């Protein structure tokens, strides 16, 4: 599992050999996120059930826990590549038993803000901006909206988005899914946070 801390550094957490991990701001939590004030003292728990990991939110948190954009109520099984959000902090779950998700390759594939140009970072933030108010029900900003906000041409926005689709390895998705997947990955990797919006 990996996430970005308050300084933007990638943190990799091995879930072996433990059977449960509590996540929250409190000092008694196994995985502390004290910088994120929207996280409860004890927010959620990861629990191993047999060979699988689950994320559990039994009403411990004020703001809820979201798995792939859907609010968690009770227990939900985690699959390789899932993203869950606790407060404003995103966690990406990688199951090394799934075959292709070796920890070293995960670290190599992870994009950082340093791997994006300032223009790409601004476009990514503008693309995600509608999610500030509307949350999971929002739709990504249009090329025209992004161009207007950043004082760029629509063609320049399209060119930069094509480059971002390639960097995020989503260029082969159907056209109507690329933008939403780009937003999802930007939040999951911590490249855009709710504070940026």
Residues of the chain with CATH 1.10.10.10: 113-196
pLDDT band at 125 (very low <50, low <70, confident <90, very high): very high
How many Å separate Cα 180 from the centre of its chain?
12
* CATH number of this structure's domain 2-107, picked from the four choices 3.40.50.300, 2.60.200.20, 3.40.980.10, 1.10.10.10: 2.60.200.20
- Of the candidates 109, 101, 99, 92, the one whose C-alpha atom is nearest the C-alpha of residue 46 is 92
Q: What is the mean pLDDT of residues 154-173?
A: 90
Asked if the bond preceding 61 is cis, omega within 30° of 0, the reply is no
Tell whether the model's pLDDT for residue 75 goes beyond 90: yes
Poorest-pLDDT segment among 68-72, 81-85, 112-116, 154-158: 112-116
Residues of the chain with CATH 2.60.200.20: 2-107
Is pLDDT larger for residue 68 or for residue 86?
86
CATH number of 113-196: 1.10.10.10
Q: What is the mean pLDDT of residues 52-72?
A: 87
The dihedral region occupied by 3, where left means phi > 0, alpha psi between -120 and 50, and beta the remainder, is: beta
Q: What is the mean pLDDT of residues 84-97?
A: 84
Is pLDDT larger for residue 29 or for residue 108?
29
Poorest-pLDDT segment among 46-50, 108-112, 162-166: 108-112
pLDDT band at 111 (very low <50, low <70, confident <90, very high): low
pLDDT band at 129 (very low <50, low <70, confident <90, very high): very high
Tell whether the model's pLDDT for residue 173 goes beyond 80: yes
Mean pLDDT of the chain: 85
Q: Strand 10-12 to strand 2-4: parallel, antiparallel, or no bridges (unpaired)?
A: antiparallel
Is there a contact between 127 and 182 (Cβ–Cβ < 8 Å)?
Answer: yes
pLDDT band at 103 (very low <50, low <70, confident <90, very high): very low
Q: Provide the percentage of residues in the chain whose pLDDT is more than 70.
A: 90
Q: What is the mean pLDDT of residues 158-162?
A: 94
Q: Cα separation of 14 and 26, whole Å?
A: 20
Tell whether the model's pLDDT for residue 45 goes beyond 80: yes
Cα-based angle 40, 45, 47 (whole degrees, multiple of 5): 180
Q: Cα separation of 24 and 43, whole Å?
A: 5
């Amino acid at each position: 599992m990996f996430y970005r801390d308050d300084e933007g550094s990638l943190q990799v957490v091995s879930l072996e050999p433990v059977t449960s991990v509590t996540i929250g701001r409190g000092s008694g939590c196994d995985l502390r996120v004290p910088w994120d004030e929207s996280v409860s003292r004890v927010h959620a728990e990861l629990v191993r059930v047999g060979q699988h990991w689950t994320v559990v939110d039994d009403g411990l948190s004020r703001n809820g826990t979201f798995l792939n954009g859907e609010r968690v109520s009770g227990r939900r099984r985690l699959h390789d590549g899932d993203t869950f959000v606790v407060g404003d902090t995103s966690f990406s779950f990688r199951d090394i038993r799934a075959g292709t998700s070796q920890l070293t390759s995960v670290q190599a594939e992870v994009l950082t803000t340093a791997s994006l140009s300032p223009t790409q970072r601004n476009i990514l933030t503008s693309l995600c901006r509608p999610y500030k108010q509307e949350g999971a029900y929002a739709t990504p900003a249009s090329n025209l909206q992004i161009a207007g906000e950043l004082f760029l041409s629509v063609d320049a926005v399209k060119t930069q988005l094509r480059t971002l689709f390639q960097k995020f390895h989503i260029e082969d998705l159907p056209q109507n899914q690329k933008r939403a997947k780009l937003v999802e990955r930007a939040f999951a990797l911590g490249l855009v946070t709710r504070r940026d919006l």
